[in-house]
Structure 1
């Protein structure tokens, strides 16, 4: 692909990491994921901000997505500047210095009958 596709700012309005899981870890650990695709010729430097209903945002969480690669970022694994709390509603804004495509997914394994949802994030255009 000659031209990078995507946008530099994305929003995911829905976020929630279930507080417990059923099944073997890490495959069946309940989680939120941002799947980030970088089709450009250069690494993308990505910042993730987390917004809450009752407190100030936290972030940025810094992630590098190599050139011409994809990276699945489990929000459960983000620790710096602080872990994202489980059992808490939140939203996220993802900013990149290169155009990227972002898809959001959640695995909810609180019951033996797992639930998976996935949707494209909202691209912010200027």
Structure 2
């Protein structure tokens, strides 16, 4: 269950794997406050992990960057629940594809 009141909610259930990325595009003219919750079979949900995406911008978080040491087993697929207070488009990118590895800047 989300701790945020959101207008947009979706789930990706195709068996994402650690190392995969999610491209999140905020299509609105306001910042989108997004929560990601990762669910595995037989395990406790991880999250919610909160992100703020500026208006009409994209972010592509990698699971390890969000979860850290609580990362599920590399062989265990997971589903992702995405909740946002603004409209966002979500596109999963499997780690084996040539998805850009976007990392936050150290500035």
* TM surpasses 0.5: yes
* TM-score using structure 2 length: 0.75
Aligned CA RMSD, in angstroms, stands at 2.0
| Bigger-Rg structure (1/2) | 1
Gap runs ≥5 in structure 2: 1-6, 100-107
Contact persistence 1:38–1:70 (CA under 8 A): yes
TM-fit CA distance, 1:44: 0.4
* TM-score using structure 1 length: 0.65
- 2:70 is matched with 83
Contact persistence 1:11–1:94 (CA under 8 A): yes
Matched residue pairs, number? 91
- 2:26 is matched with 38
* 2: CA distance, partners of 1:79 / 1:92: 13
Structure number with the higher helix fraction is 2
Alignment of 1:1-126 (within 5 A): 8-13=8-13, 14-17=15-18, 31-79=19-67, 83-85=70-72, 86-108=74-96, 116=97
Structure 1 segments of 4+ aligned residues over 4 angstroms from their partners: none
